[in-house]
Every structure is written in structure tokens, then in C-alpha cells.
Structure 1
Amino acid sequence: RRTAKISVSELKRRFQERELEAGTIDTLNEPIVTVDTGAKRAVSDAILGQAIKLDPKSSANVEAKNTNAAGLPITEASDVTVSSDELANSVFGRKPQALQSEEDVLTGAQWGTLMHEAMQWLPLAKYTQASLTKELDTLVMKGTFTEEERNLLSDTSLYKFFSSDLGKRLINAKRIERELPFSMLFEGKRVYDTLEDGENLFLQGIIDTAFEEDGEWILVDYKTDRVKSGEDLIKRYKIQMDLYKEALQRLTGMPVKACYIYSFRLHDAIIID
């Protein structure tokens, strides 16, 4: 009755739902957005990180209005709530590149994906603003980005990271891991109280960046959320960062000295205690 495999993002959502029910965290005053038959409006509302949050209660209370010929329930689209990631990766949020037009809007999730890819493929070096722009143009020539995707990247935000204290520490590190996938067994009762002792979930995730400093890991996760402060990011992602820290320590046997969220919106590195 329970899936044996779970992603970090799904696990984070389940922990947040439990904490919301217990009243230990708030919703960051994020509005709930419903998708109607003109789903373009909902996509437009998501432009460059406009917050869209899944309501853990309402999604469970959607009632079937009719059934189709196969006997499957049909719900009215206006009754369905979706998360920003679900929306951005759905047929409503993304189209094949060949069908995209200049009028199509960019969601926060899509812009975040492009910025993450830039951090994955950019050589780790000391940059000037001009040399960074040149390197991004080179990635277009190599086929890493299309011209349209290149135009959406923020050269200034990327340069500010590489010229920051955290960026300089990353550049000078001797051992660096980027887009590090991991999988590990995770105690099932930490997620589902009804599971028996000894039953495990297979947890999978991807760590944006980790680099070694004095024999310990520095863990870095990049975010493009539109937020007012670093405290908002801590509330939103501490569970995820704790899981990444645990995974990195267990899989490498090396301690994690510090965890950072780097915000491309705030141009700041926020340390997670």
C-alpha cells in the first residue's frame, strides 16, 4: 500500500504537511492557485518564481463530478490545486521547444532549471563580468543552451555568485562534486507511522554542489525562489537540506561542516544550522 521508492522533494513535502498539521511551520503567506480551463493564466501567475503552493488539505478533498466511458472519475479543472513544479512540468506549463513562441511565458521553475544547468556546466574559474558572459556564449556554441535559453540566463546573478565569498571557496576547493546523484535506504517510520520497524524506503535525490574544505564537506544548494529574506528559504528548505546532509555523510563517510542555500534572487549565501 506504500511505494517503496521516494524522492527527496516528495519526502520534503510529506514532512512539511505533517508540520503544518502540527502548527510548527507556517505557509509563508503563499496563495493557493487553481488551474482553470484557461491554464495559461495560472502559468502567467507563476512568472519568475511567483509563489504557488499545493494545499495539502484541499487536494485530498476533490470530489468526482462524473465518470467517463471507462468508469474513471472526471473532476472539474477548477477544483484541482497544483504545485509550481507540477505546473511547470505539465503539458500546461511546458511545450516542446519547436512549438514554443516568443509569447510563451517563463515560469519560476523553468528559470530555476536553467540557472541550475548553468552552475552545472560553467567551468569553475575566476571570472570578470565580461569573461563570464563570454563563457555562457561558448556554452551556446557547444549546444549546451539554445539562444533562447541563453537570453533567459542572468549573467549578473551568476557573476555575483562566483565573486562572492562562497563562490571563491568553491573555486579554490580541491575536490568538488556537482549534480551528485545519491540513493540510500531511509527508515520508513520517519515518513509513515504505520510501517513496521525495520521497513525502509529507497530515497533518491541530487545534490547541487558539494566541495571539500579542510577534510569536511561544504554543501551548497541553489535556489531561485522569489522570497523576502533568507529566513523564508530556511523555513522552506531546511528539511531538504537536512536530508542532503545526512545522505552525503552516510555515503562518503566524511562529515559536513556547513550547509548553504545560495539565493540567486537575494544574491546571498544563507547558512543552515
Structure 2
Amino acid sequence: MSGQLERCEREWHELEGEFQELQETHRIYRQKLEELTSLQTLCSGSINKQKTRLKDLKHTLQRYKHHASREEAELIQQMSANIKERQNVFFDMEAYLPKKNGLYLNLVLGNVNVTLLSNQANCVTFCGGVYQCRFAYKDEYEKFKLYLTIILLLGAVACRFVLHYRVTDEVFNFLLVWYYCTLTIRESILISNGSRIKGWWVSHHYVSTFLSGVMLTWLCPVPAILLPEGLPLQAAGSGREESSGPHGGRVPVLDVAGPHLPPAFPVLWPFLAALQCRHVV
């Protein structure tokens, strides 16, 4: 027992020494973190000040350009080109600085910093969490698109030729909604970190998210309360003879010529007709 107690005591002293080193390392880490935050604030303020002054200078040059001589016009053109190049440099610099999220990221994630601080292909531990570096995050984004595209293609084929069930259709459409929502979030994070993703590409995914949501809710039955009063009765009795009607005693399911229908119903007719055709198919 005495030998085991001595080993435990030696291990405790070793742990105590390592703990002292850990405390010192953590103190240095917090100090560097505070310095980093101060440098980020200083750089952001300086960039904003430079942008404002360059903007004023550009407007002044544009006003003076109409009354300048040939040599002065060449000088103004050169300065304008330098200003444009400087703005591109600011864009690259801001990619490494915290910035306010756009409306979409604020709605989805809240006011959280999504800036990735390194271009290396590995991951680093920063601010108490694992922050994937820029290239690694971009690589994960590409892998996510590839794998989910393959899964969705297989799922579409299975739903079309193998699994003819309403539940599988709803699961597939829910997967589509989740896929496109996740894509838009990841692309917004990449744009916040300086990625030059084309606007039409992101807009295409927003539209796809909306259409996937329509497909998901399209499978749900239309509540009777959303239909005109006479339509459910006509749909239920479409196979029986009616005592009166504009079609020889038989009233079609989607007859919009009846005087009992509200004036706004012709606007809804194409959607209800498409719904009816889908159920027939």
C-alpha cells in the first residue's frame, strides 16, 4: 500500500507541474487573444476611414475631370485606376477581419462571427472551438454537394420506380429542403470569408429551397375550409346527376361558372386545377 501511495504522490506532483505550465500557457493565450481583438478593431476602423476618404477623392476627381486638360485627364485616370486597385486590396484584407453578417445569416445563425482566420488546409483550435480553415471548409462544401447529389439522385430513382409510397415522397422532399437550406447557409459563410461565388448561383439555390418547400407541402391535402362552399359538394357528387346545371344536369368538379362562387375564385383556379390533375395522374 505504501508503494502505491508513493506512486500516486509522484503522479500528483507531475500533474501539478503540468497544471502550472497549462495556466501560464492559457494566460499567454488570453493575452494574445486580447491583442488580436484590438488589432482587428484597429484594422477595421482604418479600412473604413480609408474607404471614406477614397470615396470622397473619387467624387472630387470625377467632378474635376470635365474641366481638366489632356495631361491632367491622364493623371486622373491613373489615380482612378489606383483607387480601384486599392478597393480590391481592401476586399482581400476584410476577408480576414470580423464583419457583420448579412440578413440571411442573422436570421439563421444570429449575430455570430463566421470569419475563418487561416488559409491552411488543416483545422485549428481558436476561441474555444474548432474553426475549419478556409480551404478545408470550401473542400467540405464541395464534398457535401457531391455526396448529397448522389444520394438525391438515387432517392429520386427509388421513389419513381421502387418505393411508391407517400411517406417516402415526403421524406425525399424534406431531404431536398434540408439540402438546399444547408447549401445557402454554407455559401453565405463562404461569401463572408471572401469567396467570390456568383450571385446567380446563390439565387438559384434560394429559388430551389422555395420550390422544394412547395413540393413538400404539395403532398398535403387541401383543407376544405380553403375551398369555396360549393366545391367540396360538387367534387363529392360529381358522379351523380344534378337537378340543374349549365352542362345538361352534370356539374364538373372545377366548374367556375356557377354564380355561387366568390369573385376571387378564378385566380385560384389554375392552382386547384393543377392539384386535381396531379391526383388524377
Question: What TM bracket, shorter-length normalisation?
Answer: under 0.3
Q: Which has the larger radius of gyration?
A: 2
More strand by share: 1
- Higher relative contact order by CA 8 Å / sep ≥ 6: 1 or 2? 1
Instruction: Say which structure is richer in helix.
Output: 2
What is the TM-score of this pair, normalised by structure 2?
0.22
